[in-house]
Amino acid sequence: MGRYIQVGILTVVLFFFVSDSWGQNRQFMIRGIILDAATGKPVSHATIQSSRGLYNTYSDDEGQFSLVVPLHDGNDSILITHIKYASVSLPSRQTDTAHKIIRMNAKVKQLSEVVVSGINALDLIRRAIDSIPLNYATVPYLVHGFYRIITSNGKTIINLSQARFNIYNDNYARQNKQLQVDRVRVVKDETVFNGNDIDFDITPSDLFDYDLVANVHESGLLSKKGQEEYDFSFNGLTQLNGRKVYEITFDQKDGIKKPLYKGRMLLDAQSLAFLQFDVQLSQKGIKYWGLSAIKTLVMRILRMNVKMLSDSVSIVYEQHGGKYYLDHVQDNNALHIYGGRKVFDLNPARSNLNYFVLGIDTGKVAPFSKQEVVRQGKSMAALSPDVNTDSADVFWKDYDSLQVGYRVDSVIRMIREKNSTLNYKVVLGKRLPQYRKDKSAGIDSILSFYYQQHQFSGVALVKYQGKVIYEKGFGMANVEKHIPNTLATQFRIGSMSKQFTAMLIMQLAEQGRIGMQDAVRKYLPEYVNGGVTIAQLLTHQGGIPNYTDNMEYVQQIFSRTYSPDSLVQRFCSDSLDFEPGTAFSYSNSGYVVLADVIEKVTGQKFGDLLARRIFLPAGMKHSVFGSTVPNDTIAIGYINGDPELSYPLENVVGAGGITSCVEDLLAWHDALSTHTLLSPYWMNELFKPRVEWKEWDAWYGYGWMIDKLQFKASKKHNIEYHPGTELGQYAMLARQPDKDIVIILLNNTGEFPRFEITDLLLDLLN
């Protein structure tokens, strides 16, 4: 489970239809959200498709989806399916209010009238294992299967991998398994990884491991060792598709320092056959998750870092000819992957695997020849003869309509178009010499080029040798209202906000109200990790786990507003990942704790302090902290063309939450350069390189990064910078003090090549 780099989380649906017509194509869009009928919680990864399979999509992690259908197919019905829920069918043109809320019913229902007691869960599992020869195949058989992995960053699909394959198995009691592949197709968005070689794929061993029953003695859950590491509980008798089944829940035992799972299994009440496993990584062990030793070594060489955020798997068995076989698997993972020789940052990278058994052959089957067998550790992507296989390949026609979401041909076309942009930097680099005398024209050439290629949409400002030589807006701040991006447009700046938190700390340190080596408990006496120092929090050496990497926490901070005290107590108090001061690990949690410290020391709200101590004296008239009232000057963030979700910005206090514009950020730069906010000594403390961030080829100071190798200009000049990431709004502010250079890039269409553009601009200016 969770072997490949992949993702997922549970969600579904308040459902509403919005009819529309777009140009001459005469299309209308169906939009909605899907809800669990029993709990009211949203359901993710439901498949929404026309009944003829021509148009399909997924519900996202918030349960939302949109599906465009041509008007001539308006009489077609819409089918909503999910591995854990009964299917729902609706007329695609239905706009009646009775259908505005769609609720999906779980396939498993509790039978409250049946009371079962005195059953020991572990005894039941052992009896089910002993019954495997009776319930599963005892003769050789072939599995004909298909899988697809779709990986996305936000709502943008960055990788598609699929294969049609056959598995030979002696029987469920032996371990002689072989994989033979009919066809593999892999398409990867190379632009996302900035030249780093990463595959989101699967190996034959991974496919074999999904079949827990066939691997019962090696399974981390059902083996003798697994039985010792889990607590099992018998939950009684339930019903699955009209069949009485036993439900057993499990979680890893306390004190087990491994990344194990929690979840449930369903056993047929009569035969004790394993029918279904629903598992996810246990919060008790997720901090111990790691790659294999070899993969870890490779990642270190490549300067990449990987953190597991979530992993959930559903495994279902069905009867064929009186015996049970694996029928289908859905595996959803979320990872944070960042670093590399050329920096990239995917947070989260979500992958969804759907594995379907298309048929079982128990006739006269024989093992594959040696030449046909795929080595168990070999990546399936390596078998693809061409990672840009023709999207019109007729071999895939029947498989592209399987209920795994997305129009496959559209995905492939989109990724190819993005990959065609890989030589942008090379092409633009050759143009730079002609702009040595007219740097403004050169800047405009670079940014206009990226805008035309749909790689940048926002506002840019460049100052050079004391003068603003370029400022311009591109694209729309609000597509729905047709409001363009202008110099006055305000954007959320994400982690660039850390610069301001560090400034407040420095100001208090200058006044003698905070000591950089003070333990946090001096200011927050009840804080469980109070031994961490102020300096360690500023430089991400505190060891406090990053709360925005915890998907359960993320769901909570989207739901309501928390005070800094509550944020620290609820989300920043997990046990430390390492002894403070011994390692570097980027953590938004540390800056939330700093914000709470600032409020305790001053007795004032964080946002009020920002306004009084920084925004007002620096002349930042249009900068605010926290949630804002939507207006025509505030940019809407877009992810893959869809408006981003909103959440209370107060919940990222200290680590983010600031909204600003390019002219205010220029005023911020000028205030730093003229020591308006801080004396020279304490200003220098901000920019001292204090700890190496290897994955980013940079040093980290106090809220600032000091570049080592990302930008060519760093070979001769000191480049101070910090990027910002905020759902659909990404930012970059880079400074080169010796020539009074500042580059400010604010974008409202998600990720953009900010390092690449900044590198080109620095080359031009130097």
Average pLDDT of the chain, as a whole number: 83
What is residue 20's predicted lDDT score, i.e. its pLDDT?
27
Pair 19, 95: CB distance under 8 Å: yes
Specify burial of residue 694 (Cβ count, 10 A radius: 0-12, 13-18, 19+).
Answer: middle
What is residue 51's predicted lDDT score, i.e. its pLDDT?
54
State how far the alpha carbon of 375 is from the alpha carbons of 141, 384, 713, in Å.
20, 14, 46
Which tens digit of pLDDT belongs to each residue from 428-465?
A: 777 777 777 889 999 999 999 899 888 899 999 999 99
Residue of 42 and 421 predicted with greater confidence: 42
Asked if residue 637 has pLDDT above 80, the reply is yes
Please name which of 70, 31, 75, 27 lies closest in space to residue 51, comparing C-alpha atoms.
75
Q: Which of 1-5, 41-45, 563-567, 751-755 has the lowest mean pLDDT?
A: 1-5
Rg, the chain, Cα only: 28
Question: How many beta carbons lie within 10 A of that of residue 240, not counting itself?
Answer: 19
Residue of 191 and 253 predicted with greater confidence: 253
Query: Which range in 146-150, 214-218, 330-334, 721-725 is most confidently predicted, on average pLDDT?
Result: 721-725
* Encoded tokens for 8: 């997922």
Which tens digit of pLDDT belongs to each residue from 154-209?
A: 767 888 888 899 999 887 766 688 999 888 888 888 877 766 667 777 888 888 88
What is residue 316's predicted lDDT score, i.e. its pLDDT?
92
* Encoded tokens for 572: 């920043």
What is residue 151's predicted lDDT score, i.e. its pLDDT?
87
Across 688-705, average pLDDT: 92
Across 66-93, average pLDDT: 67
N residues, the chain: 766
Residue reference for tokens 């996305």: 152
Pair 177, 208: CB distance under 8 Å: yes
Across 251-255, average pLDDT: 91
Q: How far apart are CA 764 and CA 766, in angstroms?
A: 6
Asked if residue 12 has pLDDT above 50, the reply is no
* Encoded tokens for 490: 């305000």
What is residue 658's predicted lDDT score, i.e. its pLDDT?
97
Q: What are phi and psi of 732, to 5 degrees?
A: -150, 130
Cβ neighbours for 11, distance < 8 A, ≥ 6 positions apart: 34, 41, 42, 43, 44, 45, 59, 60, 61, 62, 63
What torsion, rounded to 10 degrees, do the Cα atoms 727, 423, 435, 666 define? 10
What is residue 9's predicted lDDT score, i.e. its pLDDT?
24
Q: How far apart are CA 714 and CA 718, in angstroms?
A: 6
Asked if residue 67 has pLDDT above 90, the reply is no
Task: Give the chain's end-to-end CA distance (angstroms, integer).
Answer: 50
- Left, alpha or beta for 718 (phi > 0: left; psi -120 to 50: alpha)? beta
Please name which of 417, 427, 402, 498 lies closest in space to residue 453, comparing C-alpha atoms.
417
Query: Is the previous residue joined to 348 through a cis bond, with omega within 30 degrees of 0?
Result: yes
Q: Which of 17-31, 34-48, 727-741, 751-765 has the lowest mean pLDDT?
A: 17-31
Please name which of 195, 200, 205, 139 lies closest in space to residue 172, comparing C-alpha atoms.
139
Query: For residue 442, what is the enclosing H or E element?
Result: helix 439-452
Residue 215's beta-bridge partner residues?
none
Which tens digit of pLDDT belongs to each residue from 455-467?
A: 899 999 999 998 9
Residue of 6 and 590 predicted with greater confidence: 590
Specify burial of residue 757 (Cβ count, 10 A radius: 0-12, 13-18, 19+).
Answer: buried
Concatenate the DSSP letters of all residues of 271-324 into one string.
T--EEEEEEEE-TTTGGG----HHHHHHHHHTTEEEEEEEEEEEEEEEEETTEE
What is residue 96's predicted lDDT score, i.e. its pLDDT?
35
Show the domains of the chain with their CATH numbers.
Answer: 15-106 (2.60.40.1120), 121-138+160-419 (no CATH), 491-745+753-765 (3.40.710.10)
Q: How far apart are CA 600 and CA 522, in angstroms?
A: 10
- Quick check: helix, strand or coil at residue 134? helix
State how far the alpha carbon of 60 is from the alpha carbons of 2, 156, 183, 429, 645, in Å.
19, 11, 29, 39, 12
Q: How far apart are CA 63 and CA 45, in angstroms?
A: 8
Q: Find the helix packing angle between 424-431 and 754-765, rounded to 10°.
A: 10
Which tens digit of pLDDT belongs to each residue from 314-323?
A: 999 999 889 9
CA angle, corner 307, sides to 302 and 308, nearest 5?
135
Q: Which of 392-396, 474-478, 680-684 has the lowest mean pLDDT?
A: 392-396
How large a percentage of the chain has pLDDT more than 90? 46
pLDDT band at 11 (very low <50, low <70, confident <90, very high): very low
- Quick check: helix, strand or coil at residue 282? coil
Query: Which range in 10-19, 116-125, 645-654 is most confidently predicted, on average pLDDT?
Result: 645-654
Q: How far apart are CA 146 and CA 166, in angstroms?
A: 9
Asked if residue 248 has pLDDT above 90, the reply is yes
What is residue 374's predicted lDDT score, i.e. its pLDDT?
85
Asked if residue 719 has pLDDT above 90, the reply is yes
Residue of 229 and 286 predicted with greater confidence: 229
pLDDT band at 593 (very low <50, low <70, confident <90, very high): very high
Please name which of 659, 565, 644 lies closest in space to residue 611, comparing C-alpha atoms.
659
Cβ neighbours for 200, distance < 8 A, ≥ 6 positions apart: 4, 5, 6, 149, 151, 158, 159, 161, 188, 349, 351
* Encoded tokens for 69: 């259908």
Across 208-223, average pLDDT: 88
Residue reference for tokens 């290629």: 453
Specify burial of residue 415 (Cβ count, 10 A radius: 0-12, 13-18, 19+).
Answer: buried
Pair 43, 85: CB distance under 8 Å: yes
Cβ neighbours for 302, distance < 8 A, ≥ 6 positions apart: 196, 197, 339, 340, 341
Pair 349, 160: CB distance under 8 Å: no
pLDDT band at 388 (very low <50, low <70, confident <90, very high): very low
Cβ neighbours for 346, distance < 8 A, ≥ 6 positions apart: 153, 158, 192, 335, 336, 337, 338
Pair 142, 361: CB distance under 8 Å: yes
Q: How far apart are CA 230 and CA 250, in angstroms?
A: 6
Pair 58, 350: CB distance under 8 Å: no
What is residue 3's predicted lDDT score, i.e. its pLDDT?
42
What is residue 58's predicted lDDT score, i.e. its pLDDT?
64
Q: What are phi and psi of 10, to 5 degrees?
A: -80, 130
pLDDT band at 345 (very low <50, low <70, confident <90, very high): confident
What torsion, rounded to 10 degrees, do the Cα atoms 761, 762, 764, 766 define? 160
What is residue 100's predicted lDDT score, i.e. its pLDDT?
57
What is residue 613's predicted lDDT score, i.e. its pLDDT?
97
Which tens digit of pLDDT belongs to each residue from 476-508?
A: 999 999 999 999 999 999 999 999 999 999 999
Residue 334's beta-bridge partner residues?
310, 350
What is residue 482's predicted lDDT score, i.e. its pLDDT?
94
How large a percentage of the chain has pLDDT more than 70? 83
pLDDT band at 396 (very low <50, low <70, confident <90, very high): confident
Please name which of 62, 117, 331, 361 lies closest in space to residue 212, comparing C-alpha atoms.
331
* Encoded tokens for 693: 């961030």
